[in-house]
Amino acid sequence: MKIERANILVVDDEFGMREGIRRLFEAQGHRVETAETGRLGIDKGVAEEFDIYFIDLRIGDIDGVEVLGAIKGKYPEAICVICTAYASIETAVETTRLGAYHYIAKPFAPEEIQLVFDRALERRWYILEARQLRLEQERRLLEIAQEKSRIRTIINSIADGIVVLNQDAEVVLFNPQYPRLLELKNELVIGRSIREVLPEHLQEMVTDIFNQKDNLQGIQQEFVIRPPAKLVVMANTTPIRDDQNRVLGFVSVLRDISELKQLELLKSQFVNMAAHELKAPLTAIQGYLEMVVDKSLGDEPVVYDGYLRRSLERSKTLITLINDLLNISRIQAGKVRREIERLDLSAQVKSVVDFFANEIEKSGLSAKLELCEGLMIDADREEMQRVLTNLISNAIKYNRPQGLVLVKTSREKGYARLVVQDTGIGMKPEEKERLFEEFFRAKNPHTRTITGTGLGLTLVKKIVDSYAGRIEAESVYEQGTTFTVLIPLAER
């Protein structure tokens, strides 16, 4: 609590006075400047703020009162001690009224001026300290203001909607996303109850919170803003408590969960469709078996042969369907364990066509291969076989007697190109459109006895897509279909 090195200015026309004061205080480690005229005193005293000014009241050129006025005018907090040989009550009163800190009568002993100086310096210290505090406070206020605006900016930038309510459901704070997500028609106003702004169907948002109020730990509410699931928001509200655990208000965070809801919807639609597709073959199988068990067509077992064969066929489809479903869900969950190896596409084609040789012959079809050598791709063998099996078995199933299954491979700008062509029943444009849809199966007089899951091509497309490949179909109804698949060639 001390100023170690004070700056002192002595304004006095008496050399002895100036030097006396200088020597006294310089010896104590302070810095002392002097001015022998009033003019010089003003110049020096105004140019820089000294801690203590000693001003002689009677200087040659200018009155000391004038010097005092000039200095106090510039530095209102300057500590000025008036020195005068003719001390009188009037001058003392006059100078203190003008802002002098004290006055001292000449001549004075060093102890006298020391005493005045020490008190003046202490005063100065308080003044500087107060000034420092004031500056800090100002800086802190500025920081707080900046901090506030920073937090404001952050809150406004959050994608979720945020609202803070007090105990009376009055809006304390909100970001623009909040009213936007709720599609509020009326503006939110700080200090006004949120109830005034919420439409009827959102009132329970507040009611539910305030019903529980003190007991509320946190509440999650879901609101459909635009039905059916175009805009759905989840409000996550938690109480704000003070250190006594009293509820001061609530902060509610709104999140747009429309996409999640859409997914849920899609999922349930998928499950519905899957259930329907699983049920159809089972219904047929059950019907056939009932006929056999009930002996609906008499006791002769041979009558039922066709029905039993057909049951078997449909139960095979059922197994395939279930396998396809599992494969699709595995691909979608990203849980496919692939063993990527370098494969010769044409060799793969050949092995799959060989596998179907028997069936091709049985169906009265012929197969033709036009294969390009050395088409290497990096792929999982099993997945490529699944793609080829699906396409080739389709070309067989949807063909006609004496028809042709043509499989070609070729090279095309960094891709291996596979073409599977049949001379079968083809598709109508609207059927082709939906070809890769889950569970879609063309329904026309030609397809009625052909079994299938409606998932085969969905699966093929998912696999091809996952290799950054492409699949396309060309078809003419009652003439045939051509599938073209592009898979990136392996890099050397």
Partner 1 sequence: MKKKIMMVDDDYDLLQIYIPVLEKAGFEVATANSAAEGLELFKTFLPDLVLVDMAMEHFDSGFVLCHRIKSLPEGAQTPVVILTAASHETGIRFSTQTAEERKWIQADEYLDKPVPARELLAFITERFFSTPDQAHH
User: Residue 38: enclosing H or E segment and its boundaries?
Assistant: helix 38-47
Query: Is there binding between residue 337 and partner 1 (CB under 8 A)?
Result: no
Residues 6+ apart with CB under 8 A from 62: 37, 38, 39, 41, 42
Query: Is there binding between residue 397 and partner 1 (CB under 8 A)?
Result: no
**Interacting residue with partner 1 among 287, 301, 364, 374 (CB under 8 A):** 287
Query: Is there binding between residue 211 and partner 1 (CB under 8 A)?
Result: no
Least distance to partner 1, CB of residue 336, Å: 30
Per the structure block, which two tokens stand in for 157? 């930038």
Least distance to partner 1, CB of residue 261, Å: 20
Query: Is there binding between residue 255 and partner 1 (CB under 8 A)?
Result: no
Query: Is there binding between residue 294 and partner 1 (CB under 8 A)?
Result: yes
Taking only Cα atoms into account, the Rg of the chain, rounded to an integer number of angstroms, comes to: 48
Task: State the CB neighbour count (10 A cutoff) for residue 74.
Answer: 13
CA angle 440, 444, 450 (to 5 degrees): 70
Judged by CB under 8 A, the stretch of 247-255, 291-299, 347-355, 404-412 that binds partner 1 is 291-299
Query: Is there binding between residue 479 and partner 1 (CB under 8 A)?
Result: no
Query: Is there binding between residue 448 and partner 1 (CB under 8 A)?
Result: yes
Least distance to partner 1, CB of residue 237, Å: 33
Query: Is there binding between residue 156 and partner 1 (CB under 8 A)?
Result: no
Looking at the Cβ atoms of 1 and 293, the one nearer to partner 1 is 293
Looking at the Cβ atoms of 297 and 340, the one nearer to partner 1 is 297
Least distance to partner 1, CB of residue 461, Å: 24
Least distance to partner 1, CB of residue 440, Å: 12
Compute the half-sphere exposure of residue 486: CA atoms within 13 Å on the CB side of its CA. 11
> Cα(52)–Cα(74) distance, rounded to whole angstroms?
14
> Cα(435)–Cα(398) distance, rounded to whole angstroms?
14
Least distance to partner 1, CB of residue 162, Å: 39
Task: State the CB neighbour count (10 A cutoff) for residue 12.
Answer: 26
**Interacting residue with partner 1 among 87, 105, 257, 280 (CB under 8 A):** 280
Looking at the Cβ atoms of 184 and 308, the one nearer to partner 1 is 308
Per the structure block, which two tokens stand in for 484? 């073209």
Judged by CB under 8 A, the stretch of 88-96, 234-242, 280-288, 416-424 that binds partner 1 is 280-288
Least distance to partner 1, CB of residue 291, Å: 6
Long-range contacts of 242-249 (CB under 8 A, 24+ apart): 247/167, 247/213, 247/214, 247/216, 248/166, 248/167, 249/164, 249/165, 249/166, 249/167, 249/172
Query: Is there binding between residue 215 and partner 1 (CB under 8 A)?
Result: no
Query: Is there binding between residue 297 and partner 1 (CB under 8 A)?
Result: yes
Least distance to partner 1, CB of residue 478, Å: 17
Do the Cβ atoms of 422 and 398 come closer than 8 Å?
yes
Look up residue 132 and give its amino acid. Answer: Q
Least distance to partner 1, CB of residue 276, Å: 6
Looking at the Cβ atoms of 200 and 294, the one nearer to partner 1 is 294
Q: How far is CA 262 from CA 113, 177, 228, 331, 349, in A?
A: 89, 21, 9, 20, 40
Query: Is there binding between residue 264 and partner 1 (CB under 8 A)?
Result: no
Least distance to partner 1, CB of residue 449, Å: 5
Stretch 88-107 residues interacting with partner 1 (CB under 8 A): none
Query: Is there binding between residue 307 and partner 1 (CB under 8 A)?
Result: yes
Nearest to 392 by CA among 358, 421, 423: 421
Do the Cβ atoms of 243 and 258 come closer than 8 Å?
no
Query: Is there binding between residue 314 and partner 1 (CB under 8 A)?
Result: yes
Query: Is there binding between residue 199 and partner 1 (CB under 8 A)?
Result: no
Q: Which residues pair with 247 in a beta bridge?
A: 241
Query: Is there binding between residue 218 and partner 1 (CB under 8 A)?
Result: no
Query: Is there binding between residue 296 and partner 1 (CB under 8 A)?
Result: yes
Per the structure block, which two tokens stand in for 112? 């006298």
**Interacting residue with partner 1 among 74, 152, 276, 362 (CB under 8 A):** 276
> Cα(484)–Cα(468) distance, rounded to whole angstroms?
14
Least distance to partner 1, CB of residue 280, Å: 6
Task: State the CB neighbour count (10 A cutoff) for residue 42.
Answer: 21
Query: Is there binding between residue 265 and partner 1 (CB under 8 A)?
Result: no
Query: Is there binding between residue 44 and partner 1 (CB under 8 A)?
Result: no
Query: Is there binding between residue 310 and partner 1 (CB under 8 A)?
Result: yes
35: left (phi over 0), alpha (psi -120 to 50) or beta: beta
Query: Is there binding between residue 290 and partner 1 (CB under 8 A)?
Result: yes
Query: Is there binding between residue 470 and partner 1 (CB under 8 A)?
Result: no
The three-state secondary structure class of 276 is: helix
Task: State the CB neighbour count (10 A cutoff) for residue 239.
Answer: 21
Residues in the site for partner 1, rule: CB under 8 A? 272, 275-276, 279-280, 283-284, 286-288, 290-291, 294, 296-297, 307, 310, 314, 443, 445, 448-449
